[in-house]
Chain A
Amino acid sequence: MKFALPITLVVLTVALMVAGLVWTGHAGGTVGIAAGSAMYGLTPKADTPEHALANLLADAQRRNWDRAYADISKTSDVDESSFIQDWIGSNGGLRSFSSLEGFDSRPMHITNDEAQMRVRLHWTTPVGPIEDVRDFHLIKEGDVWKTVWPKVQIPSVPAQVVPVTYLRWDLVTGGAADEWGSKNVDAPHVRIISMNAVDSAEGAVVMGEVVNEDTIPAFVNVNAALVDGVGNAIDQENSFDKIAHILLPKQVTPYRIDFPTISLKSVKNVRMDVKATLVPASADPVIGVMNQKVESDVQGKSILHGDLLNESGQTVNIPHVVASFYDNNGKVVWVADGYVDRALLPQSSEPFAVEIPRSLAGKVQNFHVVVNQYSLGRS
Chain B
Amino acid sequence: MRAVFLIAWDQLADFRHRRLVLALLVAAVSLALVLALLAQGMSAVSKRTEFAGKVSDEERMQLQLGVGMGSYMLQTALYLVVFIGGSVVSLATFCGLISTERTRGTLPWVLSKPITRTQFLLGKWVGACAMILLYTAVMFAILIGSTWLTEKSVPARMYYACSVMPFGFLLVGSVGAFLSTLMPPVLAGVVAYFGGAQLFHRLADWAAPWRWLDYLLTGLHYVAPSYDKFNMYLDLLMGKEIPLSRPVVLAAYAVAYSALMFLLTTLVFQRRDVA
Chains A and B belong together in one complex: no
Interface of B toward A, CB cutoff 8 Å = none
